[in-house]
C-alpha cells in the first residue's frame, strides 16, 4: 500500500482493498521534498503530513501492518526506487489512492509503466473525491466550468443514494507475528534507504525563517480529525447562519484533516446526510450549506483534471492572462505581513501567519484585496497561501484564488470587488477578531476599529491604509473591462 495524502485507517479505499484478500501487507510513504517545494507546499502542511503519518504508523502496527518511509528528492525519482522496493520486498500488487494534479498523474502513470515491466499490477482507487473526476459531465460531454450546474448535476445523480458514499471499515488485522516477518529496512540506490523511522522533517522543511521550529497548534491524526467531525455534527444545523463570523468557531476546521487524508470526504458526507434526513437537499439549511461546501471541494478537484492548464500556472479564463498587474513589491510585502492599514485584512493575514489557517470569509476578503485593490497577480497570493496554510491544497487554493481574482470559474462578473470595510462591519461587527490579531487597535471603539481615524496612527504604530478602496476598486474594474474591448 503506497500512502500519500490519505493518512487514515478507516474508509481508506486502497488500504481496505489491499488488505482484503492478501497474505501479507506492508505500507510505505515516499517524501519528495524538492517536488513538494516546487509545488509551493510550506512547512505547515508538510509538518501536518509527517505528524499524521507517525500516528498512522502506530495504528497500522496494531493491525500488524508495517509502515516504511523513504525520502527521495523528486517525483521523477519515484519509479526507479519503487522498482527496487517492489523487487526486494517481493511485492505482487501495489495499491494507492488516485491523486489528480498533473505532476501527480504523470508520476503515477510512470510508476504503472515501470512496474508493468516487472509484472506488478498497480491499482489506483477513487478516494479523495466522491466520484472519479471526469465522470460528471455536461450534456455535451465536457467538464463543468461553473459550480452551480455541477452541483445540480451531482445532486440529481446522487440524492437518495447516500449509500453509495458509505465509509468503508478499517483494514482487517494481519496475523499475530505478521509485522515481525518484514525486514527492518531495505537498501535502495541513492542517499536514503527504506526505513521504519519517520523523521520530524525532510529536505529543507520544518525550520521557520527565524531558525526556530514551526509551532503549530493542530493535533495531527485520524483520531483528532474524528473528534472534530463528531463535535461539528452538533453544530452543522446552524452552519448556514453562523459560518461567516471569523471570531467564532462555527465552521468545522476539518480542512487540514481532509487534505492530508486523516478524515475522508465520505465520512463528512455521512455525518451531514444523517443530519439531513439522508438528503443532499433536505430539512436542515445548515447541512444543505455544508454539503454544498463539500461539493465546492469536489468541483475544484474535478476542475484540475478537466482543465489541466490550471496546474500550469495559467488562468482558467485565457483572456485574463493579459491583465496588466501592477505587482508592486512593497504592496505585496505589506499584505503578507498584515501591515496594509486595513484592519480586517491585517487581522486575517496575521491569523494565517500565526496559526497556518484562515477563515474562509477572510480568504475571500484578502484575496480580493490583493488582486483587485492592490492589482497584484493572483499567483503571488496563491503561492503565499500554499507556503503558509496547514490545509494547503492545490485544487482548492488555486480555485479560490482564481475565483477571487475573476480569472477563474466564477459565474459572477469581474466587477464584484469585496469592500473590506463593509465586510469587517458585517462579519466582525464588534471587532473581536480584529482585536485578537491586531492588538494595537484593541482599545478603539467598535465603530472606529474597522477604519481607524488616521490622526491616531503613525507608520511605526499602525500604518495608514495602503490604498483608497474606492479608487482602487474603480481601477480594477477598468482594467478588467478593458480586457473585453
Catalytic residue among 123, 192, 296, 353: 296
* Partners of 125 in beta bridges: 97
| 389 is a contact residue toward ligand FAD (CB under 6 A) | yes
> DSSP secondary structure string, 65-100?
--EEEEE-S-GGGHHHHHHHHHHHTT-S-EEEE---
User: What is the smallest separation between the CB atom of 45 and ligand FAD, expressed in angstroms?
Assistant: 8
Tell me how far apart the alpha carbons of residues 11 and 19 are, in angstroms, rounded to a whole number.
12
Residue 6 burial (CB < 10 Å; 0-12/13-18/19+)? buried
Other beta carbons within 10 Å of 164: 11
| 393 is a contact residue toward ligand FAD (CB under 6 A) | yes
| Among candidate residues 148, 140, 162, the one with its CA nearest the CA of residue 409 | 148
Which residues ranging from 17 to 56 are in contact with ligand FAD (CB under 6 A)? Answer: none
| 240 is a contact residue toward ligand FAD (CB under 6 A) | no
Determine which residue in the list 255, 276, 284, 351 makes contact with ligand FAD, applying CB under 6 A.
255
Catalytic residue status for 319: no
| CA distance from start to end of the chain | 54
57/397 with CB nearer ligand FAD: 397
77/393 with CB nearer ligand FAD: 393
Q: Which residue is nearest to ligand FAD (CB)?
A: 400
* Helical (H) or strand (E) element with 303: helix 285-306
Question: For ligand FAD, which stretch binds (CB under 6 A), given 124-132, 385-393, 424-432, 448-456?
Answer: 385-393
Catalytic residue status for 335: no
Determine which residue in the list 32, 392, 417, 434 makes contact with ligand FAD, applying CB under 6 A.
392
Catalytic residue status for 325: yes
Catalytic residue status for 401: yes
Determine which residue in the list 97, 103, 259, 424 makes contact with ligand FAD, applying CB under 6 A.
259
Catalytic residue among 34, 185, 193, 293: 293
Tell me how far apart the alpha carbons of residues 44 and 33 are, in angstroms, rounded to a whole number.
13
Question: For ligand FAD, which stretch binds (CB under 6 A), given 124-132, 162-170, 217-225, 357-365?
Answer: 357-365
User: What is the DSSP code (8-state) at residue 438?
Assistant: -
Other beta carbons within 10 Å of 426: 13
How many Cα atoms occupy the beta-carbon half-sphere of 406 within 13 Å?
Answer: 25
Catalytic residue status for 293: yes
Q: How many residues sit close enough to ligand FAD to count as binding (CB under 6 A)? A: 28
Angle between helices 343-355 and 378-388 (to 10 degrees): 40
| Among candidate residues 426, 432, 436, 438, the one with its CA nearest the CA of residue 343 | 438
User: What is the smallest separation between the CB atom of 211 and ligand FAD, expressed in angstroms?
Assistant: 26
Determine which residue in the list 400, 408, 420, 452 makes contact with ligand FAD, applying CB under 6 A.
400
Question: For ligand FAD, which stretch binds (CB under 6 A), given 157-165, 396-404, 413-421, 431-439?
Answer: 396-404
Tell me how far apart the alpha carbons of residues 429 and 447 are, in angstroms, rounded to a whole number.
8
User: What is the smallest separation between the CB atom of 450 and ligand FAD, expressed in angstroms?
Assistant: 21
| 396 is a contact residue toward ligand FAD (CB under 6 A) | yes
Active-site residue set: 293, 296, 325, 360, 378, 401
What are the residues binding ligand FAD (CB under 6 A)? 243, 251-255, 258-259, 293-294, 296-297, 300, 360, 363-364, 367, 385, 389, 391-393, 396-397, 399-401, 404
Amino acid at each position: 500500500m503506497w500512502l500519500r495524502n490519505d493518512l487514515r485507517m478507516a474508509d481508506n479505499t486502497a488500504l481496505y482493498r489491499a488488505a482484503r484478500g492478501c497474505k501479507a501487507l506492508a505500507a510505505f510513504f515516499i517524501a519528495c521534498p524538492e517536488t513538494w517545494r516546487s509545488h509551493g507546499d510550506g512547512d505547515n502542511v508538510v509538518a501536518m503530513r509527517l505528524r499524521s503519518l507517525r500516528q498512522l504508523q502506530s495504528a497500522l502496527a496494531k493491525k500488524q501492518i508495517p509502515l516504511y518511509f523513504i525520502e527521495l528528492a523528486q517525483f521523477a525519482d519515484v519509479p526507479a526506487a519503487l522498482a527496487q522496493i517492489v523487487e526486494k520486498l517481493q511485492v505482487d500488487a501495489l495499491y494507492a489512492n488516485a491523486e489528480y494534479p498533473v505532476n501527480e498523474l504523470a508520476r503515477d502513470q510512470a510508476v504503472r509503466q515501470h512496474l508493468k515491466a516487472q509484472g506488478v499490477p498497480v491499482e489506483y482507487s477513487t478516494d479523495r473525491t466522491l466520484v472519479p473526476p471526469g465522470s460528471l459531465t455536461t450534456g455535451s460531454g465536457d467538464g463543468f466550468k461553473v459550480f452551480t450546474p455541477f452541483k445540480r448535476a451531482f445532486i440529481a445523480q446522487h440524492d437518495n443514494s447516500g449509500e453509495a458514499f458509505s465509509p468503508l471499515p478499517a483494514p482487517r488485522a494481519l496475523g499475530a507475528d505478521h509485522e515481525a516477518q518484514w525486514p527492518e529496512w531495505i537498501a535502495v540506490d541513492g542517499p536514503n534507504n527504506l526505513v521504519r523511522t519517520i523523521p520530524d522533517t525532510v529536505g529543507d522543511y520544518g525550520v521557520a525563517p527565524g531558525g526556530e521550529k514551526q509551532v503549530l497548534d493542530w493535533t495531527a491524526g485520524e483520531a483528532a480529525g474524528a473528534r472534530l467531525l463528531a463535535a461539528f455534527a452538533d453544530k452543522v444545523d446552524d452552519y448556514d447562519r453562523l459560518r461567516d463570523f471569523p471570531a467564532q468557531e462555527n465552521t468545522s476546521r476539518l480542512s487540514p484533516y481532509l487534505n492530508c487524508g486523516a478524515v475522508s470526504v465520505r465520512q463528512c458526507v455521512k455525518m451531514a446526510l444523517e443530519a439531513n434526513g439522508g438528503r443532499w437537499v433536505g430539512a436542515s439549511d445548515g447541512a444543505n450549506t455544508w454539503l454544498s461546501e463539500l461539493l465546492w471541494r469536489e468541483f475544484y478537484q474535478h476542475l484540475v483534471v478537466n482543465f489541466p492548464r490550471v496546474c500550469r500556472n495559467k488562468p482558467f479564463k485565457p483572456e485574463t492572462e493579459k491583465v496588466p498587474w501592477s505587482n508592486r513589491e512593497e504592496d505585496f510585502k505589506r499584505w503578507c505581513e498584515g501591515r496594509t492599514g486595513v484592519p480586517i485584512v491585517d487581522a486575517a493575514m496575521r491569523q494565517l501567519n500565526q496559526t497556518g489557517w484562515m477563515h474562509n470569509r477572510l480568504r475571500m476578503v484578502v484575496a480580493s484585496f490583493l488582486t483587485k485593490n492592490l492589482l497584484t497577480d493572483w499567483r503571488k497570493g496563491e503561492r503565499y497561501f500554499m507556503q503558509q496554510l496547514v490545509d494547503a491544497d492545490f485544487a482548492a487554493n488555486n480555485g479560490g484564488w482564481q475565483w477571487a481574482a475573476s480569472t477563474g470559474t466564477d459565474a459572477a462578473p469581474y466587477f464584484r470587488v469585496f469592500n473590506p470595510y463593509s465586510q469587517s462591519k458585517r462579519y466582525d461587527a464588534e471587532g473581536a477578531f480584529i482585536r485578537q490579531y491586531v492588538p494595537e487597535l484593541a482599545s478603539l471603539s467598535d465603530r472606529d476599529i474597522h477604519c481607524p481615524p488616521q490622526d491616531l496612527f503613525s507608520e511605526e504604530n499602525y500604518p495608514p491604509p495602503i490604498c483608497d478602496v474606492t479608487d482602487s476598486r474603480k481601477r480594477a474594474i477598468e482594467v478588467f473591462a478593458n480586457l473585453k474591448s
